[in-house]
Structure 1
Amino acid sequence: MAGVVAMRDNTHLFHMFVPRALHRRGMARRLWQAARDASLARGGVTAFTVNSSAYALPLYESLGFVATGPKVETGGIAFVPMRMEWTA
């Protein structure tokens, strides 16, 4: 398996996983682009959001996401909320 990507409510990047052996090969970017394009085709998108782990912050920043607040911990899971504005 090359990776997994899942969206929630058409605009929230809920899950994106790529096996460690495939890190830094553009797989996450291609998964994100496919998910983004599918969401855009459904319409009504003005922004995308993601709750990033500390490990994934550089990836999401390289994709154009920006942190919207400090690190949050909920139910023992730490994440940084991020957002990407989208204009057609």
Structure 2
Amino acid sequence: MREELQRITELMDTSQLEQAQQQLIHLIEQQADCAQLHYLLGQTYYRQQQWGKAINAFNEVLALEPNHPDAQSQIDMANSILGYFTPDMFNP
């Protein structure tokens, strides 16, 4: 699995996010209890601004590994983006 993760990381580094997602989803089907796979999948969604899917993936990470060092901060950042509101945009 180490080589597969390295290939996925290379895809992510070169912004080939859809290909990385496909490979991650395939691996998750085989190893659904691997928090690292869910975290990487969340990262691909986050980079594509698919906030809901990213949050779901990061929540899955926390379900598998409650003390994951980065998953909660990623959820908080996505929620912050979703909750961004500027009243000046609506009051000319």
Shorter-chain TM-score category?
0.3 to 0.5
Q: TM-score by structure 2 length? A: 0.32
Asked which structure has the greater RCO (Cα within 8 Å, sep 6+), the reply is 1
Larger radius of gyration: 2
Which structure features the higher share of helix residues?
A: 2
Which structure features the higher share of strand residues?
A: 1
